[in-house]
Amino acid sequence: MHNDNWDDLKFVLCVADTGSVSGAARVLGVNHATVLRRVAAFEEAHGTPVFERSQQGYRLRTDRADVIEAAREAAQALGRVSHLLRGDAAVAGDFLRLTSTDSFCAGVLAAGMGRISEVMAPHRVCLMSSNVHLDMGRLQADVTVRPARSKPADMAGTAAAELGFATYARDAEETRWLGLAGPLARAAPAQWMAEHVPSGQITACADSFLVLREMALQGQGIAILPQILAAACPGLQRVARGLPEMRIPVWVLCHRDLAGSPRMARFMAVVSEVLQVHGAELAGG
C-alpha cells in the first residue's frame, strides 16, 4: 500500500475505534477537518465508502467490518516490527472489546479476565457491560457472549455453555412477581411470564438480572434469575412456581465477516474456555 494510503487508513481506523470524528481528532492530536479530509482521501482513493454519514455522525458500514479488522492486524504488525527494530522488549497491543450482559460480566467474565488477557497479550482486552446488544457489524465490540435460543444469522461462533434459570424469593410464601423490562423483555423467562403470570401479579420490573436479584432480596417479589446469580445470594431461596427446567445456550460470537481472522479465533477460544470452567455453575441444577 502506498504510504499516503496507509497514513489515511490510520485515520479511518481511529474513527472506527473511537466511534466519532471528534474522538479520532483528540486521539491523533489533530483538528476535526484533518480527520475528515484524510478519511475522504482514503475513500476516494479506493472508490468506496467506509462509513455511513448521518446527523448522529460517522458509523462504520456493516460490509466494511473485515476491512477494519485487517487494518487493525496490519497496524499491530507494523507496530511490532518497529518495536523489534528498536530492540524493545515489550510490544503494546491495541484494545479488543468483549461485551456481554451485566450478569455475565460481573459473575463470570470479570473473574476470567486474567486468563483472557494472558492469552491475548500483547493485545489488551476491554470488558464492556451492556444489556443492550452492541452492533457487531459496525465493530462496536469484537466478541460477544450472548445467551439466546439460536445464533443470529449475521454472527459466527459456537455455544460454549448453558445458562439455567429458576424462580427465587426471600420468603417462601411470596405471591407477587417481578417482571423483566427493556432488553430482558425479549428473553425466555419474560416469554414464559407473559404466558403464565397474570399482569396484575407483577408489582415492579427491571432491565437487569442483577437489579432483579436485589429487589427479590428486599422482599419485593418473585424473580426468575440465572441460577449462578442466585447461588451467590444466601438471602434468597428457590421457590416452586411452575417454571419448567429452563436452560439457554450461551454463545461466543463475532461478526461473520471476521470469522476467518486468527486473532478472533484465538479470542473466542479463550472466552469459551473461561465459560466452560464455570459450566456447571452456569447450568445450575
Q: What is the pLDDT of residue 64?
A: 75
253 and 221 within one domain: yes
142 and 219 within one domain: yes
207 and 103 within one domain: yes
**Domain's final residue, options 63, 86, 109:** 86
195 and 120 within one domain: yes
Please answer whether residues 256 and 268 qualify as being in contact, where contact means their C-beta atoms are separated by less than 8 angstroms: no
CATH number, position 25: 1.10.10.10
Q: What is the pLDDT of residue 96?
A: 86
For the chain (285 residues), the mean pLDDT of every run of 10, in chain order, is: 64 80 83 86 82 76 75 64 44 74 91 95 89 62 90 90 97 96 91 95 96 96 96 93 95 86 91 96 89
Report d(CA 218, CA 188) in Å as an integer.
24
Check the CA dihedral 62-268-98-120 and report its sign: negative
Q: What is the pLDDT of residue 92?
A: 46
Q: What is the pLDDT of residue 219?
A: 96
**Domain's final residue, options 32, 63, 86:** 86
**Domain's final residue, options 65, 86, 107:** 86
139 and 7 within one domain: no
Domain count, the chain: 2
CATH number, position 268: 3.40.190.290
pTM confidence score: 0.69
The domain in which residue 77 lies consists of 3-86
Tell me which H or E stretch contains 174.
none
183 and 142 within one domain: yes
- Can you read off the three cell numbers belonging to residue 97? 472489546
Strand-pair partners of 248: 163
Residues contacting 239, CB < 8 A, separation 6+? 167, 168, 169, 172, 174, 222
Roughly how many angstroms between the first and final C-alpha of the chain, as a whole number?
56
